[in-house]
Structure 1
Amino acid sequence: MSLETLLEKAASYGVEVDAAIEFAETPDSGLSAYVKPDRVSGPPRIKLTNPFIVKPSDAYSAFGITDTENLENETSIFKLYIASMRNGSIQCEKFQPYIDLLPSLEEIHSPLSMSSKSLYVFSNTSLQGSIISKKLESLKDDFGSVLKYNNRIEFEDYLWAHLIVTSRAFPYKIINVHAKPHLVMLLPVVDLLNHKPNSKVDWRSDANGNFEFVYKQGVDASKAKEDGKVEIFNNYGPKGNAELLMG
């Protein structure tokens, strides 16, 4: 599905994107967000309504999980849910345009999905082969612990979901103060923005569990591309290269 399909679906659920923000795909940055300085009248914002946020409760509902008080492996269950939508074993018309637009396992270029022969490039680094192997074994254990909820998933699907969640997820506690600290959520549209450390952004929520992204960095017209647009970024906090590659 296309970017336009995602934005249309988001709008149908009340999502509001600042009129100054445009999304486009470029060879260098992939899907990214831009603004034209002459159209900016205040900090650019994206308001995401609660129903259009991919939440742990969506996963519990899809898998028929009703007792969540003593539930283990919640994050693994959430990853399984994302993987299930990707491979079609769970249908979700609302989130499908977002899921379909996410990069493939090949496009993510993680060491976790590389062949053993290709891993030589990480020799004598913090990502040497033994560390990658241990991480894969740990992920396979996690996968096995939640497979009972959907046995139509392959490990490759789960690995893809792991990389998506670890690179794009936001703390669920932002919109639900009662949530366990380790729970996460995905924010369609908002996560189209690329990550840049030190970008000044604000994440807000209201009593209804809606989410608002505010870009507070300021728009520097001197950084505009030939088309007059300036890219704006999100900030997921400090992440090292190893963390970005491995999840």
Structure 2
Amino acid sequence: MIPYFASTALYRPDALKLENPPIYIHWQSVTTFALKYLTKMASENIQNLLSWAANSGARILEDVLFATIAKGNVGARSDSPSSSIKVPIKAIIKLSDAIFGLGFDVKKHLGSLKNINAPLKLYLAQVRASLDGFYSAYVRSLPSAAEINSPYFYYEHKFYDDAQLHGYLTNDEIDNWTSFPAYLWASMIVKSRSFPSALLKGLPNVSEIDLRQPDVAMLVPVIDLLNHSPQANVTWTASDEFFEFQSHNNGGGELFNNYGRKGNEELLLAYGFCLENNSADTVALKIKVPEQMLPELEKHGVTLPRLSDYTSSVVGGETQTDSASYDQFKDGLLFFIAKDRVPEDLIRVFQWLVRSPWESKLTVRMQLSGLNHLRQAVESKAALIDVNNVKSEKNAEMIKIYLRSQKAILHAAVSDIKHVENALLTEHKASILTLKTIYKKDVKFAQSLLVTLGVHQLRGYLGPGTHGPSVAIIPYQMLQQE
């Protein structure tokens, strides 16, 4: 079949807001692809990429048009409700291709690599340093470190001075492909643009290296130009010849890929931007728990959070596996709070952490005390976030979006925890003795607080952040014993 890349696009007011609006061009199926006309609005590197892809056999439906949306950001638009992009398997950069291209025996060291995709990253940097090679047109089309603008390249922290650190990280010394900045750049490319090689499983000519483990990555030229939207309805399929992207119910306008739900932290680190009102955003909360207590937590029904709980495979039937030991929890238990959800297991951990020696099961006291401690921890974390203390000028907007979202999630969590506390207090009202009740009804106790602790009123004594209830119960119990 004759490969084709054709487009019918007419710029109109509701089209993408492009730096260089597309012009009306109609293409029939061709073999030479005079893409400099079709992609007049795209950069020269993108033109070269599309030309290379076409010559390699890429097939793109005629309604798809690539264009520069902003500096360092190329996207695609389509007026059709369904669109397709097919990239030949030979044009994909796989781990096996990287190992072969590096030219030294990396294969025998794969088992000892902490990062299975390290050879792929090194190969990217090496290809960028070379002047030719099969993948050079693709690699040269990739954004620079400065264009990615991830926090990994921010320069607010001191090096010798700010300018030197920024220059060190973003200065693309392409020839020095083994340098740390080159490897960092390649790491960001793989982090933000890669697909799982497991999508090629079952194809006849795929190396076992590419299927060695679920997180082996591959880079798919042209398809990785598409921007991300969690609402996009897309499918990825692989055949003997092609890796195909299909968009369904696109509705016209920008053509998006979908890498799944991503919180602002992942978006900021990988792509350099955040989303306002991101429903997928979360706040991480790590709790240090003594290792000897972990089996006890599990015994009482607490599910310890593992990495596989927060990762999912886009490949049907693939699952992430974790070590059965408790070593993975030595740095703490990692929970993620969402705007509409405080994990039940996080609440349970706090409730069992406050268990007294004479409590063998989950009591009302443990539930209330655990919720109180968790609420204070969340409130303390929220108090540390100062949206108005952002000193960066260049990156202030994205940093503030990130911080505002984090603070909003924490405030929502505090409200949820208070709601649970109030529900418990209401449910067990008849069996709960509060300090407020004691203070009002036991004059002798109130006088003892005044004499021993100088407490004139309970409200001031039980201010936020204090441990008034636990301290006051002790003299009350001693007083009753007398």
TM-score range (shorter-chain normalised) is 0.7 to 0.9
Q: What secondary structure sits across from 2:257 in the alignment?
A: coil
TM-score, scaled to structure 2: 0.39
Q: 1:69 offset after TM fit, Å?
A: 6.5
Alpha-carbon distance between aligned partners in 1 of 2:104 and 2:215, rounded to the nearest angstrom: 18
Q: What secondary structure sits across from 2:245 in the alignment?
A: strand
- 2:234 maps to 201
Task: For 1:176, give the aligned amino acid.
Answer: K
Gap change, CA 1:172 and 1:60, over 3 Å in 2: same
Q: Residue 125 of structure 2: which of 79, 83, 87 is its match?
A: 83
Alpha-carbon distance between aligned partners in 1 of 2:59 and 2:74, rounded to the nearest angstrom: 18
Alpha carbon RMSD of aligned pairs, Å?
2.4
- 1:98 maps to 138
Q: Tell whether the 8 Å contact from 2:125 to 2:177 is kept in structure 1 after alignment.
A: no
Of all paired residues, the percent bearing the same amino acid is 36
Q: Tell whether the 8 Å contact from 2:72 to 2:147 is kept in structure 1 after alignment.
A: no
Q: 1:82 offset after TM fit, Å?
A: 1.0
Q: Residue 239 of structure 1: which of 219, 241, 262 is its match?
A: 262
Alpha-carbon distance between aligned partners in 1 of 2:249 and 2:144, rounded to the nearest angstrom: 30
Alpha-carbon distance between aligned partners in 1 of 2:147 and 2:223, rounded to the nearest angstrom: 20
Q: Which deviates the most, 210-219 or 91-100?
A: 91-100
Alpha-carbon distance between aligned partners in 1 of 2:100 and 2:139, rounded to the nearest angstrom: 18
Gap change, CA 1:59 and 1:29, over 3 Å in 2: closer
Alpha-carbon distance between aligned partners in 1 of 2:90 and 2:268, rounded to the nearest angstrom: 30
Alpha-carbon distance between aligned partners in 2 of 1:217 and 1:162, rounded to the nearest angstrom: 33
Alpha-carbon distance between aligned partners in 2 of 1:47 and 1:11, rounded to the nearest angstrom: 10
Q: Tell whether the 8 Å contact from 1:175 to 1:209 is kept in structure 2 after alignment.
A: no
- Determine whether 1:17 maps to 2:49: no
Q: What secondary structure sits across from 2:53 in the alignment?
A: helix
Alpha-carbon distance between aligned partners in 2 of 1:49 and 1:35, rounded to the nearest angstrom: 21
Q: Residue 44 of structure 1: which of 83, 99, 102 is its match?
A: 83
Q: 1:181 offset after TM fit, Å?
A: 0.7
Q: 1:44 offset after TM fit, Å?
A: 0.6
Q: 1:154 offset after TM fit, Å?
A: 0.9
Alpha-carbon distance between aligned partners in 1 of 2:66 and 2:144, rounded to the nearest angstrom: 19
Alpha-carbon distance between aligned partners in 1 of 2:109 and 2:70, rounded to the nearest angstrom: 46
Alpha-carbon distance between aligned partners in 1 of 2:58 and 2:157, rounded to the nearest angstrom: 45
Would you identify which runs of 4 or more consecutive aligned residues in structure 1 move more than 4 Å? Answer: none
Alpha-carbon distance between aligned partners in 1 of 2:105 and 2:90, rounded to the nearest angstrom: 19
Alpha-carbon distance between aligned partners in 2 of 1:98 and 1:10, rounded to the nearest angstrom: 8
The C-alpha deviation readout for 1:82-110, integer Å capped at 9, x for no partner, is 12222x1x455322121111111011111
- 1:157 maps to 182
Alpha-carbon distance between aligned partners in 1 of 2:180 and 2:67, rounded to the nearest angstrom: 32
Q: What secondary structure sits across from 2:117 in the alignment?
A: helix
Gap change, CA 1:91 and 1:75, over 3 Å in 2: farther
Q: Tell whether the 8 Å contact from 2:122 to 2:177 is kept in structure 1 after alignment.
A: no
Gap change, CA 1:192 and 1:67, over 3 Å in 2: closer
- 2:245 maps to 213
Q: What secondary structure sits across from 1:239 in the alignment?
A: coil
Task: For 1:10, give the aligned amino acid.
Answer: A
Gap change, CA 1:152 and 1:25, over 3 Å in 2: closer
Q: 1:75 offset after TM fit, Å?
A: 0.7
Alpha-carbon distance between aligned partners in 1 of 2:48 and 2:109, rounded to the nearest angstrom: 38
Runs of 5+ unmatched residues, structure 2 = 1-43, 159-175, 203-207, 271-482
Q: Residue 27 of structure 1: which of 70, 80, 91 is its match?
A: 70
Q: Which deviates the most, 163-172 or 173-182?
A: 173-182
Q: What secondary structure sits across from 2:214 in the alignment?
A: coil
Q: What secondary structure sits across from 1:2 in the alignment?
A: helix
1:125-136 matched pairs, under 5 angstroms: none
- Determine whether 1:167 maps to 2:192: yes
- 2:103 maps to 64
Q: What secondary structure sits across from 1:31 in the alignment?
A: strand
Alpha-carbon distance between aligned partners in 2 of 1:159 and 1:26, rounded to the nearest angstrom: 25
Q: Tell whether the 8 Å contact from 1:175 to 1:210 is kept in structure 2 after alignment.
A: no
Structure number with greater Rg is 2
- Determine whether 1:109 maps to 2:116: no
Runs of 5+ unmatched residues, structure 1 = 119-150, 221-229
Gap change, CA 1:104 and 1:28, over 3 Å in 2: closer
Greater RCO, CA 8 A, separation 6+: 1
Task: For 1:52, give the aligned amino acid.
Answer: A
Alpha-carbon distance between aligned partners in 2 of 1:152 and 1:105, rounded to the nearest angstrom: 14
Q: Tell whether the 8 Å contact from 2:145 to 2:185 is kept in structure 1 after alignment.
A: yes
Size of the alignment, in residue pairs?
A: 200
Task: For 2:178, give the aligned amino acid.
Answer: I
- 2:476 maps to none
- 2:49 maps to 6
Alpha-carbon distance between aligned partners in 1 of 2:103 and 2:233, rounded to the nearest angstrom: 40
Alpha-carbon distance between aligned partners in 1 of 2:188 and 2:225, rounded to the nearest angstrom: 15
The C-alpha deviation readout for 1:66-93, integer Å capped at 9, x for no partner, is 573761232111111112222x1x4553
